[in-house]
């Protein structure tokens, strides 16, 4: 049985995956590839980088270095993706490898040492490293998406609705649960669990 940590962190990542998907769904195809300037990244470039990182870090991660020889990180920041279908294929490929790796872990694995660029990490540290990295980029995707969406549907509590949201929450009995449960219960099963 998985530890509370593993269950919690998997839900946390699934939540951020869902935020990215809900943002991408609100942005027109052409705007997924827009860059504000030469130094900024489009949503497509961020997706390409996330997928590249996930594939490199989590493929055979218990036995090989997380920075694979076949990874070309610099190319992840070029316009390699040309359409929304490719974008979603990259997205799903990266998340599929990553969530599969997390779902394969047991309590005993968390203290194992793995390497990223020859630097030793416990599996727990490697997960936490990505728990900071991936949501950082998902936040960028959401920020860009809000600027480009025709009509933005809030991914959390809509502006001006905090009081009503809190009233609803406090009108119910106290319960134990993960904060993502209400968000993740709405998503269709995509075979990543």
**Each residue's pLDDT tens digit, 4-35:** 999 999 999 999 999 999 999 999 999 999 99
The pLDDT assigned to 186 comes to 60
Count other C-beta atoms under 10 Å from residue 123's C-beta: 20
HEC states along 37-103? Answer: CCCCCCHHHHHHHHHHHHHHHHCCCCCCCCCCCCCCHHHHHCCCCCCHHHHHHHHHHHHHHHHHHHH
- Mean of the per-residue pLDDT values for the chain? 92
Place of tokens 């727990």: 124
**Each residue's pLDDT tens digit, 138-178:** 999 999 999 999 999 999 888 999 999 999 999 999 988 88
8-state DSSP, 125 = H
Q: What distance, in Å, lies between the first and last C-alpha atoms of the chain? A: 14
Q: Return d(Cα 177, Cα 171) in angstroms, integer.
A: 16
* Residue 152: burial class (beta carbons within 10 Å; 0-12, 13-18, 19+): middle
Length of the chain in terms of residues written: 193
pLDDT greater than 60 at residue 188: no
Rg from Cα positions in the chain:
18
Place 190 in a pLDDT band, splitting at 50, 70 and 90.
very low
Q: Return d(Cα 73, Cα 67) in angstroms, integer.
A: 9
pLDDT greater than 50 at residue 180: yes
The pLDDT assigned to 166 comes to 92
pTM (2 d.p.): 0.90
Q: What residue ranges define each of the domains in the chain, with the CATH number in brackets?
A: 4-184 (1.20.120.450)
The pLDDT assigned to 182 comes to 79
The pLDDT assigned to 191 comes to 38
């Amino acid at each position: 049985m998985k530890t509370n940590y593993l269950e919690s962190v998997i839900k946390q990542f699934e939540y951020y995956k869902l935020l990215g998907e809900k943002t991408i769904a609100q942005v027109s195809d052409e705007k997924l590839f827009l860059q504000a300037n030469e130094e900024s990244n489009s949503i497509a470039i961020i997706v390409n980088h996330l997928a590249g990182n996930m594939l490199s870090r989590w493929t055979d991660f218990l036995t090989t270095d997380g920075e694979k020889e076949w990874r070309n990180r610099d190319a992840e920041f070029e316009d390699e993706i040309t359409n929304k279908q490719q974008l979603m294929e990259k997205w799903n490929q990266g998340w599929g490898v990553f969530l599969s790796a997390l779902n394969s872990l047991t309590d005993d694995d968390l203290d194992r040492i793995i390497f990223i660029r020859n630097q030793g990490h416990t599996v727990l540290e490697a997960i936490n490293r990505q728990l900071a990295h991936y949501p950082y980029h998902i936040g960028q995707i959401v920020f860009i998406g809000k600027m480009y969406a025709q009509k933005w549907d809030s991914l959390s509590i809509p502006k001006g609705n905090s009081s009503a949201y809190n009233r609803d929450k406090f009108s119910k009995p106290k319960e134990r649960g993960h904060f993502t449960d209400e968000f993740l219960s709405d998503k269709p099963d995509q075979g990543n669990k």
